[in-house]
Structure formats: C-alpha cells, structure tokens
Structure 1
Amino acid sequence: MDTSTVLFAFGLTLFAGLATGIGGLIAVSRKTVTEGFLAGSLGFSVGVMLYVSFVEILPGAFDELTSVWGEKGGSWAAVIGFFGGIALIAIIDRLVPTAINPHEPSIVGGAVEGFERRNRMMKMGVLTALAIAIHNFPEGFATFLAGLSDPMIAIPVAVAIAIHNIPEGIAVAVPLREATGSRRKALGWATLSGLAEPAGALIGFLLLMPFIGPEALGLCFAAVAGVMVFISVDELLPTAISSGKHHTAIYGLIAGMAVMAISLLLFI
C-alpha cells in the first residue's frame, strides 16, 4: 500500500467531512433551505450509497473472504460482517438521544425554531455538533477504506456522504446562529463537527494497519456496506421524505442509482 493511495483516501475523507461546512455556510447565508433541495440531494445520496453498497462493496467483500476461507466460510463471514456493520451503527444511533440526534427528521426539518431561549439554542447546537461527530467517526473510516480499495468506488461514496453531511451542518449552524448571533461561530462549529470523519479514518488506519489483509479488508468492506445501507434507510431517506417532497426524494434516489451505475460501467 503506497503513500499516494493512503493520501488519496485520506483526502477524500477530509472532503466528505468538511461538507458540514457547506451546510453551515448555507445556514448562515440564507434564511431557509428549500424542502426540494433537501429531498432531492438526500435522495440522490441514498441512491448512490445503496447501489454502490450492494453492487460493488458487498460483492467485493465476498470475493476477498471466499478467496481466503472458501465459498461457504467466506460467504458466512461476509454476511456476518454486513450485519455487524448495521449493528454497530444502530447501537451508535441509539446511544444518541432523539432530541439531539442529527439524523432524526425533526432536527433538519426546522424544529429548532420552536426554542425561544438563547441558552437552550446554544445547548442544542453544541450537543448536535457532538452527536454528528459521533456518527461521522465510522463514516470517515468507511470512506477511507473505499479510497484504499478502488478510486472509482471511493469518489461517488465520498460525494454521497458529503451530500448527506450538508444538512447535518445546517442542523448545527441554525441553533448556534440564533443563540450567539454570530455567523462565524455557527459556521466554525458546523465545520468542526465534520472533522470527526478524517479523525475516524486516521485512527482506524493506525489501529488496523498491522492487520490489513484479505480477511480484514473483506470484513471491513462488508461492515462498510452495512453501515451505508443503515444510514440510507434509517436516516437519509426518512429525512428526505419528511420534507414533504416524497416524489422529489424518490426521483433523486433513482437518479443517484443511475449516475452510480453509469459511472461504474464507463470504467469497465
């Protein structure tokens, strides 16, 4: 594994994480974010993540693991890794209280507008930033692993995660802007919350570097596929639909799948 590949993977992870800053910029520069924008962009992200998970990442995990443990043993390991990834992100999601969970539709949908007291808004913004950091840690490692495996898979994965990080940045910046009256502080906190992704990539790489081989890569790829599927169906798609633009969300999902499929076919 050469240095340029590691730097490329880390750069993609940093790009995806800093997308929360884009959400913060939107929040401090505009009064509202349209429902159509949220529904379409999140739906597109879902389409990309589901397609690449089931068509590229999970089959790649099966290939890696069956090459080491045979068809039966490798297939069982891939399935266990897939649902293990789902279990991991589900546990993380459950540990974050619903009231501050950035993946709950009520946060992105503007429920923060109902809080009138400035100290409540400040608490809401800070806790949301911390919750996002917790969620983004495994997402960062997932993006990093994709970058180490195949740039043609990693780039759309990074773009999809970046898109879904935009409303998270909005969720941080909106209450902090109201609480502090400072656009700069709101933007800074939103951007900082996304840095958990490159941190997750770096820590995961340092811990797993001595063990990276076909077995570890296969299990990690299977877990990454599970993480991405869970994020898509539990967090992104319900948030997109809750915007009230159901058809826009579905059209975005189909468009994301189509773009991912065509991009993969172009590099065969």
Structure 2
Amino acid sequence: MSWSVDSTVLMAMGVCIAAALSTVLGSLSVLVTKQPSPRLLAFGLAFAGGAMVYISLVEIFWKAEAGFAGGVTARTAYVYATLAFFSGVLMLAMIDRLIPNPHALMSSAATDSHHIRRVGVLAALAITAHNLPEGLATFLATLDNPAVGISLAAAIAVHNIPEGVSIAIPIYYATGSRRTAIVATCLSALAEPVGALIGYLLLAPFLTPAVFAWVFGAIAGAMVFLALDELLPTAKRYAQGHETVYGMVIGMAAIAVSLMLFK
C-alpha cells in the first residue's frame, strides 16, 4: 500500500485527535471540585484502578489474543496472550523496584504529596502507553476503511473520558493545581496522535497483528499490576468510608458502558 498526505491521511489524523481530546474532557472534572480532599482522592484512585482492571481484562487482553489468532490454534493464541500479559506485569514490577518508594525516604505530609504524585505519574504513564497503540490502530483503521476507523475512534473517545478523570484527580490532589492536572492529561492525550504519526512515518511496514498483540497484552498486564499495587491500596489508605469500593465499581461501570455502546 502506498500512502501520501492526502485527504484520507488528514481525516485519519483528525479522527485520532478527536478521540484524544475526549481524555481532556475527563480532566475537566477537577474544575468542579472546590479543593482536594482525601475522600475525593480515594474515589479518584479507586475509579482509575477499577477502570484499568476492567478494560485490561475484558477488552485489551482479548485484543491481544485476537492478534495472535491468525495462523495458530486458539489455545496457542491464548498462551501467547497470557505470556504477553505477564511480561507486562514483570516489566512494571521491575520499574517499581527501580523507582524508590517515597515512604522510605520521607515522612508526614511531604511523604503523602510525593507518594500521590508518584502514583499519579505512574497512572498517567500507563494510560499514555495504552493510548499510543490505540492511536495507531485508529489511524490505520481509518486509512483502510474510514467507517470502521470512525466507529473505533468513537468507542475510544467514550472510554477516554474516565481515563482523563483517572489522571487528573491524583495529580490535582498532589499538586493542588487544576492547571497542572489538565496539562498532564493533555500530554497523555497527545499519545494517540503521536502514536498515529509514528506509525505513519516509521513503523507501519513492520507492524503485524502479532506485534500489536504483544503490545496490548503487555499493556494489560502493566495496568492491572499498577491498579493492584499502587492505585487501590493508596485509595484505601485515604478512604474514610466506602469510597474505594464505590470508586472501583463506578470506574468499571464507566468503562463497561463505553464498551457496550460500540459493540
């Protein structure tokens, strides 16, 4: 396939940008909160954890299996997807060992602020890593079939909104700055058009369904590890009631509804 910068390419990039902007909509949740509070933080972290676990196990893992399915048995595809998933778990576990936990270095309110900032940054990085292949997939799908690409982008846009909430609330709590929270979310949102641009300029000839499958499987594992190791325990720490379980369930439900709308 020979591509040039024509109307189809521009439309594909526009579709990616539109899907990415919905992440920023989620970050605007910080504008309606008067000030950071432990209960809001607990809810926001649990929301992020629930959303990450649900989308990883219900959607992203199965994208990985589907990517491996061509040319191998269903059992082998599942085995490969499982290996990719746990490679993502192992990758994030190693990163977690390399990044010092602020609780070992500080105490009191400074510890809390640094810890929440670290959790927020890790959540933003995980979602950014998730957005890169999504942007690339949307771009390539739109180039191949605009109707399919636009449908995919609409589905991604809907579930990008809770992802924006997931990034903005912990960063807002850590910094006290709405502007910082929104800017951080914007940077994460940029991953989708950046992924599309990288794919268009450099990677498209080398990307196969199996490569996508490994990427999606590893991202699913990394997001589950982050949710269980950082987001949910930290949410529980700041909860004063049932904010953790409510946030987790509502985060799962938000992603579930976004997926159901476009099945």
Q: Offset at 1:232?
A: 1.7
The CA deviation string for residues 159-191 of structure 1, in whole angstroms up to 9 with x for no partner, is: 2331221234225524xxxxxxxxxxx666555
Contact kept? 1:48, 1:156, Cα under 8 Å: no
Give yes or no for the alignment of 1:234 onto 2:224: no
Distance 2:64 2:221 in 1: 11
What residue number does 2:127 align with?
Answer: 139
Match of 1:69, SS?
Answer: coil
What residue number does 1:111 align with?
Answer: 109
Q: Offset at 1:90?
A: 2.7
Contact kept? 2:22, 2:157, Cα under 8 Å: no
Structure 2 matches for 1:1-268, cutoff 5 A? 3=9, 4-13=11-20, 16=23, 30=34, 32-99=35-102, 111-112=109-110, 136-147=124-135, 148=137, 150-151=152-153, 153-170=155-172, 173-174=175-176, 193-194=184-185, 196-198=187-189, 201=192, 202=194, 206=198, 208-268=203-263
Structure 1 gap ranges (5+): 116-123, 175-185
The CA deviation string for residues 19-76 of structure 1, in whole angstroms up to 9 with x for no partner, is: 77875x78xx95x422332222332332222222211211121112112433233222
How many residue pairs end up in the alignment? 236
Distance 2:83 2:111 in 1: 42
In structure 2, the CA distance between the partners of 1:59 and 1:240, relative to structure 1 (3 Å rule), is same
Structure 2 gap ranges (5+): 139-151
Q: Offset at 1:203?
A: 6.2
Worse-matched range after superposition: 43-52 or 214-223: 43-52
How many percent of aligned residue pairs carry the same amino acid? 25
Contact kept? 2:49, 2:248, Cα under 8 Å: yes
In structure 2, the CA distance between the partners of 1:238 and 1:246, relative to structure 1 (3 Å rule), is farther
Worse-matched range after superposition: 188-197 or 228-237: 188-197
Worse-matched range after superposition: 12-21 or 204-213: 12-21
Q: Offset at 1:154?
A: 2.1
Root-mean-square deviation (Å): 3.9
Structure 2 counterpart of 1:44, which letter?
F
Distance 2:97 2:74 in 1: 34
TM normalised by structure 2 equals 0.69
Q: Offset at 1:250?
A: 0.4
TM normalised by structure 1 equals 0.68
